[in-house]
């Protein structure tokens, strides 16, 4: 692949968007390669993903403005669909995805980070939805996901003003969970991912599905979604092992890794 790097460290997969010359802006090729990279993740082996950008300046500086500038209506729709499909694939990916935001996260960059399960960033990160300054609306889910994450009032302010915000403000409004120095960011992301990967994988996947699907339902239906996914866990060997381990009073025992079964 030209623009996507993929590396596996233990049970953690790291996808790096690598188009540094254009601050990792998303063109069609990047979106196609990201889609293919997600399809290629071995879910037997990998239990948590990290998504980051190459270099020290930018996570993703948005959709590629050069490519978008000449699109016809039909091409614009096709480009939008390509982006939305891959963003939705990330959002509903069976295992958790952590966005490690190492600089600019503008437009489509902010939007792709919001398709991930959680966001942590470096102290030079800058977030924004500059689309209205370009004559368009956010097109990769920004109007929807930002309002769900930080509340409608703050989302509307960011989107209508097209004003960028820095890492401390992103932390304050709940857009990111934590801020680190550049050097600390990837170690922190890997530590967080490894902590998640140590837990029972089927239970973690079911939690992701319960939270995502439940947020789209009313509370009565959401509770039923949770009940079903809770029940599913009792068909897993990991549930039997996890509870038996807790109940076994042998002080010498050492917990084995969960088997993903």
Do 241 and 259 meet the contact criterion of CB atoms below 8 Å apart? yes
Q: Does 53 bind ligand DAK (CB under 6 A)?
A: no
The residue from 14, 22, 173, 204 that contacts ligand DAK (CB under 6 A) is: 22
Residue 119 in contact with residue 76, Cβ under 8 Å? Answer: no
Contact 102, 182 (CB under 8 A): yes
Alpha-carbon distances of 7 from 42, 46, 52, rounded to whole Å:
12, 11, 12
User: Secondary structure of 35-101 in the HEC alphabet?
Assistant: HHHHHHCCCCCCCEEEEEECCCCEEECCECHHHHHCCCHHHHHHHHHHHHHHHHHHHCCCCCEEEEE
216 catalytic, yes or no? no
| Smallest separation (angstroms) from ligand DAK to the CB of 200 | 36
**Token pair recorded at residue 241:** 């092992």
- C-beta separation of 118 from 177 below 8 A: yes
Q: Which residues between 154 and 183 bind ligand DAK (CB under 6 A)?
A: none
56 in active site: no
Judged by CB under 6 A, the residue of 13, 53, 130, 201 near ligand DAK is 130
111/238 with CB nearer ligand DAK: 111
| Subset of residues 58 to 117 that bind ligand DAK, contact rule: CB under 6 A | 61-66, 76, 79-80, 83, 104, 106-108
CB of 79 to ligand DAK, least distance (A): 5
Least distance between ligand DAK and beta carbon 91 (Å):
15
Verify binding: residue 25, ligand DAK, rule CB under 6 A: yes
Q: Which residues pair with 26 in a beta bridge?
A: 63
The catalytically annotated residue of 20, 75, 111, 226 is 111
Which of residues 166 and 198 has its CB atom nearest to ligand DAK in the complex?
166
Residues lying near ligand DAK in the complex (CB under 6 A) are found at: 22-23, 25, 61-66, 76, 79-80, 83, 104, 106-108, 130-131, 134, 136, 139-140
Active site residues: 111, 131
């Amino acid at each position: 692949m030209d623009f996507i790097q993929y590396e596996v460290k233990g049970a953690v997969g790291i996808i790096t968007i690598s188009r540094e010359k254009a601050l990792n802006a998303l063109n069609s090729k990047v979106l196609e390669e990201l889609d293919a990279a997600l399809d290629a993740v071995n879910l037997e082996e990998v239990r948590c993903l990290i998504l980051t950008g190459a270099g020290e300046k930018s996570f993703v500086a948005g959709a590629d403005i050069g490519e978008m500038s000449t699109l016809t209506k039909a091409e614009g729709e096709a480009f939008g669909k390509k982006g939305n499909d891959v963003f939705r694939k990330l959002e509903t990916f069976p295992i958790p995805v952590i966005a490690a935001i190492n600089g600019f996260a503008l437009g489509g960059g902010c939007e792709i980070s919001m398709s991930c399960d959680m966001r942590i960033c470096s102290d030079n990160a800058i977030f924004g939805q500059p689309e209205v300054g370009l004559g368009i609306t956010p097109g990769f889910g920004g109007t929807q996901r930002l309002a769900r994450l930080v509340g409608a009032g703050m989302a509307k302010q960011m989107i209508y003003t097209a004003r960028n915000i820095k890492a401390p403000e992103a932390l304050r409004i709940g857009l990111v969970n934590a801020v680190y120095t550049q050097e600390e960011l990837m170690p922190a992301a890997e530590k967080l991912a490894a902590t998640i990967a140590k837990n029972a994988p089927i239970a973690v996947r079911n939690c992701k599905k319960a939270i995502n699907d439940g947020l789209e339902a009313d509370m009565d239906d959401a509770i039923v979604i949770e009940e079903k996914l809770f029940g599913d866990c009792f068909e897993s060997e990991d549930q039997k092992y996890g509870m038996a381990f807790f109940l076994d009073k042998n002080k010498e025992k050492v917990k084995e890794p969960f088997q993903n079964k």
